[in-house]
Chain A
Amino acid sequence: MDGETTPSDSYQFFRVAKLVPLDQDVRAIPPGTRVKEALALMKENGFSQLPVVAGTTVIGVFSYRSFARELGSSVRRQDDPLEAPVDDLLEDLSFVRATDDVGEILRHLDADDAVLVGEETNLIAVATTTDVISFLWEATRPFVLLQDIELAVRDLVRSACPSSGALEQRIGRVVAAEDGRLKAMNELTLGELIHVVTQEDNFGQSFRHRFGRSRDLVISRLEPIREIRNKVFHFRDEVAAEEIDLLVEARRWLLRKVLAAQAS
């Protein structure tokens, strides 16, 4: 902490640390734990694996897979497998560092579905394939929502105009390409598209029939999306939970408008 660069000072590529869920509490079991106790703990907490730790040292991982894999060779036929200690039913998972690139650990996840973060004597977290999926879902969700929103607005704009000439006229009232020609709809930015919809003449003439009568309410729904889009596409800060909610709500609201337009 002597003035050195801190993790937040500069951009870092997708690192393993990003995969660890906020509320992850690593649960470990000591050697000698019976299989049925380990399985009960895994079921109760929704874990697929449990590190086995002697003192501060990780000696292996007990998992559904390791149990199934080792059962035949490590437990005698006459013994109750649930009463067996987990010690002979372990697998070795790879250790990775919190600062490792996510891309570099995918082969370990592909093989074992999980990696251990830290060192043998300092287990910090467990990162699983599910964590990667959750992380990627969170990272890509704004893009998917914005795509739906933008395409829905385009759809409604197109369906509100009786002809391509009318559409060109509505667009021409608001934007023009740098060379002076009319922009086609698929050349419009989301900001321009919203502007086309909410321009007073356009709205009164056409778009209120598709988006709802109150221009002020339509602006209140669509304008925040423009700012969030800029934030997402310019990779400015993290997208806040309430911003995701605004995208989700706008998408639902537009979806209903699209369905109503299709039914009319």
Chain B
Amino acid sequence: MAPPEGACGAGVMTRDLLPFQSALLHELAESDARHVQIQVTPGAGLTEVLSRLAAGTVDEGGSVVVVVGSLVLAQQWLERLRALAIPAEDLRATSNVVEALDSGLVTQTRRPGVIVTTPQALMHGAGKRTSALLRPSLLIVERPGRAAVSSEPSAVDAAMADLATRAVRVIVLTSSDTTVPWLTAPARHMVSFRDVMEAQRLTTEIRIVTYLRPPEEGELRAQAVKLLNRLGGEAKVGSSRADLHAALVRLASRLSGEQLADPDDDGSLAPELPLEPSSGTLDELWALVDEIENLGDDERLTVVAALTREALSRSRPVLVIADRVDDAEYVGSRLRSEHPDVAVLSGSSSRDDTARVFQSFDGRSVLVITRMLLQGWETPPGTRQIWWSPPRTTHEAMIRLTRGQGEAVALIGDPPTPAEAALRAVLDELMTTADVHVESLPERR
């Protein structure tokens, strides 16, 4: 049973938490299980819950280490902890780890406070030595990457397993019911998508709009994907023309000798291309780029413009979600020709600009954002989300749906791209597991 509002055991506060969050915090605070695994759904606000638990631990003189899989998540943790006036050390960057080690900031003696870091920062040299000195009262590992939750041993596994042996208590958040190899008989908790949607009284309405993809674009897309696959470049190509264009320019850049980051990895370079390209390959690639630039009107943009107009006529704000900033600018460009105030936000935008646009977002607003910016922002009621880039997983779809009360529109071309076809499977899963209502609208031609 959940404790009275605002009070909880072990010095943690539950004020302003949703009932399921309070109940979970209470259970965690009262439990004496050494290893805990929480299968968490996006939007459940577990960072908030666990930061309260961390605050309670620090208040009692304990130390906490939080390990998260990305720099963005780490930043969110730091901001949350600092808002709660909890001493928090940022050990995300190697330079900070080196300085902390050299200054004696990290010692074998437990000091009250929280250290926020990433597995990558703890895996080598100074980070490994720092990790060996840590004896946390509470270790929180949020969203370990694929490698960390697979049954295959990995470097991340090894680093986390090592740190876990020195922690008094370990809490791991996972996105699925998976086995974490370095947890021993963990107490299990689950926060379901249904819990989150019900607690926040969110609707789950998704509309599918089908549009016609012109045959010449379909042919070009097929040629491009064939070429990309042949060169082992990037088989994953999004559904928009801008995404296809970007994938080809990216591969042409790599063939020209440029070193680019590996999109699937945090910080490393893209692997070498498996095949030595022939002298004509680069010309072939650029010729395809030219052909894409010379295609006629993009029906996908026309459909999004119509959906935007229709939402605004009913005073519903429009939020378009794209994977990449260039894709966001592509759709933003078309929307701006009808609505000059359309804003495009990405990770490159300043925090002030982002905060200002989010704050003024209302029934006359059209905003295009990259998907990473969705985290940590709740949209106003009635917002129409347009999924310019389809969510690649059910998890990602859930993140979008838990941002606020409204509706989502998914675009599926005829013929569909692989990403659009995969979206069908995601929607089917949502319908089965979470009462999500999916409706197909008449085809737009």
Q: Chain B residues with Cβ under 8 A from A117's Cβ?
A: 98, 102
Q: List which A3-43 residues lie within 8 A (CB) of chain B.
A: 3-4, 6-8, 15, 17-18, 20-26
Please give me the residue from chain A that is nearest to B259 by CB atom: A248
| B166 contacts the other chain (CB 8 A) | no
A1, B87: Cβ atoms closer than 8 Å:
yes
In the docked arrangement, what's the CA distance between A200 and B295, Å? 18
Please give me the residue from chain A that is nearest to B347 by CB atom: A240
Distance from B308 Cβ to chain A, minimum over Cβ atoms (Å): 15
The 8 Å CB contact of A7, one of B63, B96, B292, is B96
Which of B23-31, B105-113, B395-403, B410-418 is the contact stretch?
Answer: B105-113
| A69 contacts the other chain (CB 8 A) | no
Which of A71-79, A166-174, A227-235 is the contact stretch?
Answer: A227-235
Q: Chain B residues with Cβ under 8 A from A22's Cβ?
A: 94, 120-121, 124, 267
Which of A47-55, A178-186, A209-217 is the contact stretch?
Answer: A209-217
Are A216 and B333 also in contact (CB < 8 A) when A6-B90, A245-B250, A249-B253 are? yes
| B346 contacts the other chain (CB 8 A) | yes
- The interface residues of chain B, by DSSP majority, are classed as helix
Q: Chain A residues with Cβ under 8 A from B89's Cβ?
A: 1, 6
User: Most A CB atoms within 10 A — which of B102, B332, B337, B348?
Assistant: B348
B103, A224: Cβ atoms closer than 8 Å:
no
Distance from A125 Cβ to chain B, minimum over Cβ atoms (Å): 6
Q: List which B305-337 residues lie within 8 A (CB) of chain A.
A: 325-327, 329-330, 332-334, 337
Please give the number of chain B residues whose Cβ is less than 8 angstroms from any Cβ of chain A in the complex: 68
| A143 contacts the other chain (CB 8 A) | no
| B359 contacts the other chain (CB 8 A) | no
B87, A248: Cβ atoms closer than 8 Å:
no
User: Most A CB atoms within 10 A — which of B115, B242, B293, B334?
Assistant: B293
Q: List which A169-224 residues lie within 8 A (CB) of chain B.
A: 198, 200, 212-217, 219-221, 223-224
Please give me the residue from chain A that is nearest to B282 by CB atom: A256
| B256 contacts the other chain (CB 8 A) | yes
Q: Chain B residues with Cβ under 8 A from A244's Cβ?
A: 261
Please give me the residue from chain B that is nearest to A214 by CB atom: B293
Are A227 and B95 also in contact (CB < 8 A) when A99-B102, A220-B327 are? no
B residues with CB within 8 A of A: 63, 78, 87-90, 93-96, 98-103, 105, 111-115, 120-121, 123-126, 128-129, 241-242, 245-246, 249-250, 252-253, 256, 258, 260-261, 263, 267, 286, 289-290, 292-295, 298, 301, 325-327, 329-330, 332-334, 337, 344, 346-350
Return 18 A-B CB contacts under 8 Å, by A number: A1-B112, A17-B102, A21-B94, A24-B126, A98-B101, A98-B103, A118-B101, A118-B102, A200-B337, A212-B290, A216-B298, A219-B329, A227-B349, A245-B260, A246-B326, A249-B253, A252-B252, A253-B289
